[in-house]
Every structure is written in C-alpha cells, then in structure tokens.
C-alpha cells in the first residue's frame, strides 16, 4: 500500500506541473513577467513539496514511535506475566514438597555449588543423596570411613575440607574440645524440631548446650543370644562369664565397648577416670578371655545368624537385622546398664560450604528422608516424626529399635576423657588382648 506521504508528494508534483507548464498568459502579462511568475511558482511549489515531505516524515515517525511503544508495552506485559507464572509454579512446587511425608517440613530452596560429606560406610540410602542433589541443586561429594579413629586425624589435619561429618558421641566431644567444629546456625535447620527431646538431651552430654551436633542415628549395645542354645532368658552381663558357654561367646573388638561391659557389670561408669576401677575391669576381661570364641566387630552378625555362637555383644541396629534372618535370636539391654550411642552430623570449622552443609543436615532431618535411611540401615532414628511414618507396627513398637525409658535407666553415652586417659584405656585393653 502506498504511503500517505508519497501520495501527498505526487499530488504536489502534478499540481506544480499544471501550473508551470500549461498556464496561459494573463491579460497585460509579458513573457518577462510570466517568467518571473513561473520562477516564483516554482519556489512556492518547492516549498510545498518540502513542507509535504516534512509532514509525511513527521507522521511516519509518530506512527513508528506509537508502534514501538505498543510493542514495548506488550513485551513488558508478557515478561511480567511469565515471571508471575514462574513464581506461582515455584510456590506450588515448594508447597507440595513441604507437605510430602505427612509431617511439617521446612522449605527446600535451590542452592549452588557442592557439599563434601564424610560418613560411615553404608550409612545412608544412596537414593537420598540423589534426591538431595535433584531437589536442591547442590552436588554431593561423598566419602566414607570405617572408624572414628580413622576419621579424626583426617579432619584434624585439615588436608581435606569436609563440610559435613558424622562422628560418634565421644569423638564429637573430642572435636569440640580441640576446637575443630563450627557452631550450627539453627535458623538454617528448622527440621531440628523433628528430633525428639530425649535424643537432644543425650546429645547434650557430649555437646553441652547443643551447639554443634544434630543426632542422626542412635542405638544401644547389648547381648544377642540364641534362645535354642542357652538356658532361659538372659538379663545380665554375668552370662558372658558363664563357663557353660565357653567358645560360644563373641566379644566386641573395641577398647571402649569391651571395657564398658566389664565396668557396667561391676557397677561403675563407662566413663570412669578412676584407674583402680579401670584395672578391675581389665582384670575381669582377662579372666573371661578363655571363654571367648573371638573378638569381632561386624562378624558377630553373620556368626549369630549362622548359629556359630550362642551369645554375642552387638549393636542394636545389627540385632534388628539378625532377627529378620534368624527368628531364634533375642536381644537384651542388661539390667546393669549399657552404652547409648549417638552418631550425629557436625560441621568442621574449616568447612568451605557451611550453608550447603546446613541445608544437607536439614534435609536429613526431614521425616520422609529419615524414614528412608532407617529402612536402609536399620539403625534407630531419633526423628520422632519419621517413627510415626513406619508402617510395620512391629518395628515401630520394637523395644530393640526404640527401648523404653525403664530399659535405658542405667545407660550412658560415651564421653571423651582426654588424651591421657584415652591412652590409659588403650593400655589396659592391650593387656587384655596380649594376655
């Protein structure tokens, strides 16, 4: 379609042509005056042409400006609409995530970077790590250790900057005393509300004021026995000194756990710093040694399932597994008391990704996630909201997984006793092993 300014321009040209090229002489007009008149007409025509062109350009510029303004407004409205839709989608997804698991949980927001986790072997459901990465956008770098004693020098040396570590009670105590841990920002871990008060109280024994540690798993040390291979029920550590079970007794190959048995049997604290009590416990273990089939750690589980021994000292989480495999096995916390152990998440002071670490810990405290880990590793969860989600009633009410307060009355958590006393414990244990 011809532009309006072009039409005006052509009209002006045609009008000029009719005036300058075809006009007759007026009366009393000479050729000279006619020429002057034509010159003036040409000038007027040129002025009209310029005016028409200017008006056309102005009008075209206004049209263009209006079009640009209209398009800009439409684009702005589109961006605003898309932004609102995106925000609504994020809000909706966040609300769905917050209600998943049938229990109140904190909102998980997208993060960046990574989190370096140092944990016990086979101590987390691998699917949980994948879910955390997908939901938060934080990459998990995952390493495993076998004992607290292997973990500690790596963290203390600082050669590797771990963001999250899962030590046991007494080792956390040691790490606090040696200024290796960073205080947790509880504002970043709202899911701590899912951890039972009882477990936070126990954690307070090795983490005064609950500044550094978030309980992850817990349990007890007790006696696992085969009901078809012993006489009657067992309720005391004394059975481990009963000669009729010679070569049918499995003891823990661990300084603190082995000495704990003898100390508790004698009525002493498992955290004693009294050398006379410690010597008495060591002598009792030397006396017992001829009755012991083997000093083991993980092997006690398989040996008891295979009925290779009648009695074994074992962790409660392992006991739950063995009962699934052999219905003749029974677990008991001796009446003299035992060790209540707690493994907890902590953040080393040299962590490079502290906020990501806190996001990871908060995620582990989510009820549905805690349930997944409980199902995978069978160690008791301190997450009371997760316990309510356990579908198997027998497990949910199991006194192995969740012993009563009465059963735990004489139990303690291990504490760090200082380097000098730790060395003394090790010396007395070495005497047992070398006797």
User: Whole-model pTM?
Assistant: 0.73
Low-confidence ranges of the chain (pLDDT < 50): 1-107
132: closest CA among 355, 330, 406, 369? 369
**pLDDT one-digit tens code per residue, 122-158:** 999 999 999 999 999 999 999 999 889 899 999 999 9
Does the fold of domain 220-340+416-434 match that of domain 114-218+341-396? yes
pLDDT for 172-231, tens place per residue?
Answer: 999 999 999 999 999 999 999 999 999 999 999 999 999 999 999 999 999 999 999 999
Domain 220-340+416-434 indexed as CATH 3.40.190.10? yes
Rounded-to-integer distance, Cα 174 and Cα 169, Å: 9
pLDDT at site 13: 36
pLDDT of 84 reads 43
Sorted by sequence, the CB contacts under 8 Å of residue 176 that are 6+ apart come out as 206, 207, 212
Give the residue ranges of DSSP H helices in 140-230: 148-157, 169-177, 197-206
Fold of 114-218+341-396: D-Maltodextrin-Binding Protein; domain 2 (3.40.190)
What is the DSSP pairing of strand 311-315 with strand 249-252? parallel
Which residues make Cβ contacts (< 8 Å) with residue 221, sequence separation at least 6?
252, 257, 260, 313, 314, 315, 316, 338, 339, 341
Per-residue pLDDT at 112? 77
Domain residue ranges of the chain, discontinuous segments joined by + = 114-218+341-396, 220-340+416-434
Phi, psi of 197, rounded to the nearest 5 degrees: -60, -35
**Contact predicate 121/114, CB 8 Å:** no
Strand partners, 330: 225
Runs of H (alpha helix) within 216-309: 255-265, 275-288, 299-305
Q: Are 245 and 239 spatial neighbours (Cβ–Cβ below 8 Å)?
A: yes
Q: Distance between CA 391 and CA 318 in Å, rounded?
A: 20
Q: How far apart are CA 416 and CA 419, in angstroms?
A: 8
Cβ 115 vs Cβ 360: under 8 Å: yes
**Which residue, 279, 301, 258, 292, is CA-closest to 414?**
258
Helix (H, G, I), strand (E, B) or coil at 410: coil
3-state SS assignment for residue 118: strand
User: Beta strand pairing status for 214-226 and 329-332?
Assistant: antiparallel
Predicted confidence at residue 109, as pLDDT, reads 54
CB atoms inside a 10 Å sphere around CB 134: 9
């Amino acid at each position: 379609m011809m532009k309006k300014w072009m039409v005006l321009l052509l009209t002006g040209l045609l009008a000029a042509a009719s005036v300058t090229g075809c006009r007759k002489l007026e009366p009393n007009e000479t050729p000279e005056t006619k020429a002057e008149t034509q010159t003036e007409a040409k000038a007027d025509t040129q002025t009209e042409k310029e005016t028409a062109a200017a008006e056309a350009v102005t009008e075209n510029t206004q049209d263009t400006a209006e079009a640009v303004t209209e398009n800009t407004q439409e684009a702005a409205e589109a961006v605003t609409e898309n932004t609102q839709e995106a925000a609504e989608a994020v809000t909706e997804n966040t609300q769905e995530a917050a209600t998943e698991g049938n229990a109140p949980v904190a909102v998980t927001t997208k993060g960046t970077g990574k989190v370096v986790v140092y944990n016990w072997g086979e101590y987390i459901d691998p699917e949980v790590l994948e879910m955390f990465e997908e939901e938060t956008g934080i990459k998990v770098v995952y390493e495993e250790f076998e004992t607290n004693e292997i973990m500690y020098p790596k963290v203390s040396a600082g050669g590797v900057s771990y963001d999250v570590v899962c030590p046991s009670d007494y080792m956390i105590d040691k790490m606090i005393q040696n200024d290796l841990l960073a205080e947790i920002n509880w504002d970043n871990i709202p899911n701590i509300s899912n951890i039972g008060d009882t477990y936070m109280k126990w954690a307070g024994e090795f983490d005064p004021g609950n500044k550094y540690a978030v309980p992850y798993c817990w349990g007890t040390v007790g006696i696992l026995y085969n009901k078809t291979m012993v006489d009657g029920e067992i309720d005391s550590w004394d059975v481990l000194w009963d000669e009729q079970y010679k070569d049918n007794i499995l003891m823990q190959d661990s300084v603190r756990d082995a000495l704990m048995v003898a100390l508790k049997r004698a009525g002493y604290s498992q955290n004693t710093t009294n050398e006379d009590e410690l010597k008495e416990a060591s002598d009792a273990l030397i006396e017992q040694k001829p009755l012991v089939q083997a000093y083991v750690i993980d092997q006690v589980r398989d040996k008891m399932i295979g009925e290779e021994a009648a009695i074994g000292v074992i962790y409660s989480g392992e006991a739950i597994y063995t009962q699934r495999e052999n219905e003749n096995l029974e677990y008991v916390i001796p009446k003299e008391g035992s060790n209540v152990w707690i493994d907890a998440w902590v953040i080393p002071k040299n962590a490079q990704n502290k906020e990501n670490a806190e996001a990871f810990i908060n995620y582990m405290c989510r009820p549905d996630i805690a349930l997944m880990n409980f199902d995978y590793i069978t160690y008791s969860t301190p997450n009371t909201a997760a316990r309510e989600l356990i579908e198997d009633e027998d497990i949910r009410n199991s006194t192995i997984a969740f012993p009563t307060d009465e059963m735990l009355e004489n139990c303690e958590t291990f504490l760090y006793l200082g380097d000098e006393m730790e060395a003394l414990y090790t010396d007395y244990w070495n005497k047992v092993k070398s006797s």
